[in-house]
Amino acid sequence: MTPLLLEPGQLNQQQLRQVLHSPVKLTLADSAYPQIDAACKVVDDIVASKENVYGINTGFGLLANITIDPNRLTALQQHLVLSHAAGTGELLSNNIVRLIMVLKVNALAQGYSGVRQKTIDTLIACINHEIYPCIPSQGSVGASGDLAPLAHMSIALMGLGDVNVNGNIISAKQAFNNAGIETIDLAPKEGLALLNGTQVSTALALSAYFQTEDIFSAAIVAGALSVDAAKASDVPFDKRIQQVRRQTGQAEVAGFFRHLLHNSGIRQSHLGCQRVQDPYSLRCQPQVMGACLDNMRHVATIIDREANAVSDNPIVFSDDNAVLSGGNFHAEPVAMAADNLAICIAEIGSLSERRIALLIDSNLSELPAFLVKDGGLNSGFMMAQVTAAALASENKSLAHPASVDSIPTSANQEDHVSMATYAARRLVSMCHNSATIIAIELLAACQGIDFRAPLTTSPVLTTAHQKIRQQIPNYTEDHYFAPDIECAKQLVTSGEFNHYLPPGAFASLS
């Protein structure tokens, strides 16, 4: 378990990745507690004064005009959490739930939510004991925040609902007893502060963004291998072409290809060939992948802000002794960022699928049909390309923007919503699809490189080729192909190809 000292509002990329991929022992910086206490005092003073303030001593949503008896304020918060724990669908993974919980602590600990130290510390104790609430994946429209999934997280703090501990689903009460953690009775505003917020959609978007980095890197390597396998030209990657276009991502991606293809023996063998131009899937990689890189960097910036944001409502400003009701729970920034990322994921996969189709077509690649000897007896990569095509087309449908959809809720009080949670959640399937497509291309490109022997690719790409061949042999004849594809996909999703790009190739979440 890796130690993590949390300075509220300052989570960086390394820490976010760490939380997503492995358990952490979370410690909140001592400097956070005075601000937490100050905001809590503002709430206590409002309760004592009997002033009507939304979420503290009133109903919620359309019921905000109903004043609640001071003796029932704890019940108010408890009822809110219980009634909102109405999610459905498959449970989110422990990794995602852990990230959600850390993001929630990060928001609450900034001292603008009016919750007690005890509530935050209980959430931290769950993280440190690897007690992960069972959170259904469906039921949020992304405003007012991720209400239903965060309610499922929150009932665990009250000793209700189920949690996942070491892969076993048990009652929250039993898990708390086993760990020696006290359950809590929610104080005024605490239920609302726990439920309001964009932490679920943000965690899902973060996970997808990190996966997209891995997919992008692997696609660059696969694309470079395909250039050599198809005996394509490297002229489209010339620095001068990129300079006059003035697109940053395009110029950088072209630089990646120049680096990967440097000193390729295959390229040297056909410098004087008569082919004038290559198909777009080879020639326009800097333009397409560069656009993806630019947009991924924008997405990273938006998600970084949201990971460190205070996104509940109302917000407590202890310096001014003010509680202001706004709309920071509206997850439109996350929804649009997720939609943008969906386009990138779809395009990366789409371009890769076209290169697979090119490689198996002997008229275009001048390689054996379907990349196999004894064609007819062997079908080679015929069906693997069909699989890639199916996944690429599926991604086209999934890439339809979710943020343009809205459906009124809460008796039209919440009349415009972001759909951010779905926007981010559907990226999981899209990443799987594109990772699989790129895995197939890696196998196809390596097969093409093998057919070019005794000519060899560049020294850099030779190391990538050897890495693949260490686990997946040359396709000599038809065999059970799915395990090969799965093995290559594991290389893609493991980040194995990230180091082929220069450090800092992606936007820094800092």
Nearest Cα to Cα of residue 437 among 379, 485, 368: 485
Nearest Cα to Cα of residue 370 among 211, 481, 237: 481
Q: How many helices (H) and strands (E) does the chain have?
A: 21, 9
- Provide the pairing of β-strand 88-91 with 132-133: unpaired
Nearest Cα to Cα of residue 310 among 113, 145, 39, 483: 113
CA distance 194 to 366: 61
DSSP conformation letters of 437-490? HHHHHHHHHHHHHHHTTTS---HHHHHHHHHHHHHS----S----HHHHHHHHH
CA distance 254 to 290: 8
Rounded to 5°, the CA angle 170-198-433 comes to 80
Whether the Cβ atoms of residue 338 and residue 420 lie closer than 8 Å to each other: yes
Q: Judge whether 209 counts as a catalytic residue.
A: no
CA distance 279 to 386: 20
Q: Give pairs for 43-50: CB < 8 Å, separation 24+.
A: 43/114, 43/187, 43/188, 43/189, 43/316, 43/323, 44/188, 45/321, 46/188, 46/323, 47/73, 47/188
CA distance 214 to 341: 13
CA distance 503 to 60: 48
Look up tokens 């020696």; give the residue: 180
DSSP conformation letters of 132-183? EE--EEE---SSSSSHHHHHHHHHHHTT-SEEEETTEEEEHHHHHHHHTPPP
Residues in the chain: 510
Burial class (CB in 10 A: 0-12, 13-18, 19+), 7: middle
User: One of 33, 54, 480, 500 is an active-site residue; which one?
Assistant: 54
Nearest Cα to Cα of residue 312 among 104, 58, 85: 104
Question: What sign results for the dihedral spanned by CA atoms 266, 271, 272, 274?
Answer: positive
The values of phi and psi at residue 342, to 5°, are -60, -40
Cα torsion through 380, 384, 389, 394, rounded to 10: 170
Question: What is the rounded radius of gyration, in angstroms, for the C-alpha atoms of the chain?
Answer: 26
Is the bond into 22 cis (omega within 30 degrees of 0)? Answer: no
Q: Which residues are catalytic?
A: 54
